[in-house]
Copies of this chain bind each other. A is one copy, B any other.
């Protein structure tokens, strides 16, 4: 099937299933991922993941995070940063430790145990942000806390991955990790000083352009540029796109027609392809997975993240029920964990059985998150 036909088919089925789920009272995201599972290697095998689809999915994640950032601004987000860091701390440390213990107890060596711990510790910004948007809770205090924790979580996760890589390649974890951390600091330093000014200036200038669509193009260009810069610094596209959105948030929201237009581009096209592409990554078979380990892995995945989010936010929110919702919000593992798992399999680091187990765990957390969140927010009313 030609890439264009694949894009069309994914879009049709994802939008259709998304609408069905939405009517049934669940976030449409579930339907979109299900479309990918249904059409991809896991079931019908009509559409294979490939380079072109991956680019569309990457742009989907970028515009998703860009538009999430654009609903806030740097100040709002910075306010929730300290509390977010605390949540991220416990929501990374507890799953990491629990995953490693599970690995060792299950008879894996230290590298495999570290892999399991890391796979459990990275929350998916994409899934948690989309769920919050679908539930109209992105700008609530719980929403803000989850997003800021997920962003910081992702940065920590990337550094942890560096450790794993250093471990595996045996290069020691001196200089490599050091350079990585320097790059990350350099990225944030650059974007939040000069980058910020250049982006705001560009956006202002774009309104004076003779070509009518210039502000739209410039907003997209800034999102893509920051995403690529983050990627060059070793971070995930999502982080850069989110920061670009935060920087331009006030400007974009003050122009309703621009905001709507970018929102349509995101949720009417690219974001849908991102979620459908996640579905395409699901493997065709889980036959090799040992059942007991699988059950334990899923239990640890849910338990440790919910506990981490709960404990980290309790002091700030002072309400166990609200802290529990933060815990639910940290549950989904997604694109980063899937990529890590796939890369580890290809590198020969992990067996197919472990690969399938971790992938299945990721799927279950992704599908469960919207249900947990709906329930959690309902319990607060």
Which residues from chain A sit less than 8 Å from chain B, CB to CB? 3-5, 7-8, 11-12, 15, 18-19, 22-23, 28, 51-52, 55, 58-59, 209-214, 216-218, 220-221, 224-225, 228, 257, 260-265, 267-269, 272
* Complex contact B214–A3 (CB within 8 A): no
Residues of B contacting A19 with CB < 8 Å? 209-211, 214
Residues of B contacting A225 with CB < 8 Å? 8
* Complex contact A4–B265 (CB within 8 A): no
Residues of B contacting A265 with CB < 8 Å? 261, 264-265, 269
One of B51, B214, B260, B267 near A15 (C-beta < 8 A):
B214
One of B23, B210, B216 near A268 (C-beta < 8 A):
B216
With contacts A11-B220, A55-B52, A261-B260 taken as known, whether A5 is within 8 angstroms of B228 at the C-beta atoms is yes
* Complex contact A267–B8 (CB within 8 A): no
Nearest opposing residue in chain B for A134, CB measure? B211
* Complex contact B51–A211 (CB within 8 A): no
Tell me the bound Cα distance from A225 to B220 in angstroms.
26
Nearest opposing residue in chain B for A15, CB measure? B217
* Complex contact A211–B15 (CB within 8 A): yes
* Complex contact A11–B221 (CB within 8 A): yes
* Complex contact A213–B268 (CB within 8 A): yes
Looking at A15, A19, A263, A267, the one whose CB has the most chain B CB atoms below 10 A away is: A15
Residues of B contacting A261 with CB < 8 Å? 260-261, 264-265, 268
Residues of B contacting A28 with CB < 8 Å? 211
Tell me the bound Cα distance from A260 to B213 in angstroms.
10
Nearest opposing residue in chain B for A59, CB measure? B4
Residues of B contacting A59 with CB < 8 Å? 4
Nearest opposing residue in chain B for A272, CB measure? B217
* Complex contact B220–A269 (CB within 8 A): yes
With contacts A52-B52, A220-B269, A257-B257 taken as known, whether A4 is within 8 angstroms of B228 at the C-beta atoms is yes
One of B8, B11, B18, B216 near A264 (C-beta < 8 A):
B216
* Complex contact B221–A12 (CB within 8 A): yes
* Complex contact B51–A3 (CB within 8 A): yes
With contacts A3-B51, A3-B55, A55-B3 taken as known, whether A213 is within 8 angstroms of B8 at the C-beta atoms is no
* Complex contact B211–A18 (CB within 8 A): yes
Minimal beta-carbon separation of A252 from chain B (angstroms): 13
* Complex contact A210–B263 (CB within 8 A): no
Tell me the bound Cα distance from A269 to B224 in angstroms.
12
Given contacts A3-B52, A3-B55, 5 further A-B contacts (CB under 8 A): A3-B51, A7-B55, A7-B224, A12-B221, A261-B268
Nearest opposing residue in chain B for A263, CB measure? B213
Tell me the bound Cα distance from A301 to B214 in angstroms.
35
Residues of B contacting A218 with CB < 8 Å? 15
Residues of B contacting A11 with CB < 8 Å? 217, 220-221, 224
Residues of B contacting A22 with CB < 8 Å? 210-211
* Complex contact B263–A260 (CB within 8 A): no
* Complex contact B217–A4 (CB within 8 A): no
- What are 25 residue pairs bridging A and B, where the CB atoms are less than 8 Å apart in the complex? A3-B52, A4-B58, A4-B228, A7-B224, A8-B221, A8-B225, A11-B220, A11-B224, A15-B214, A15-B221, A19-B209, A19-B210, A19-B211, A19-B214, A22-B211, A28-B211, A51-B52, A52-B52, A213-B267, A216-B269, A220-B268, A260-B261, A261-B264, A264-B265, A265-B265
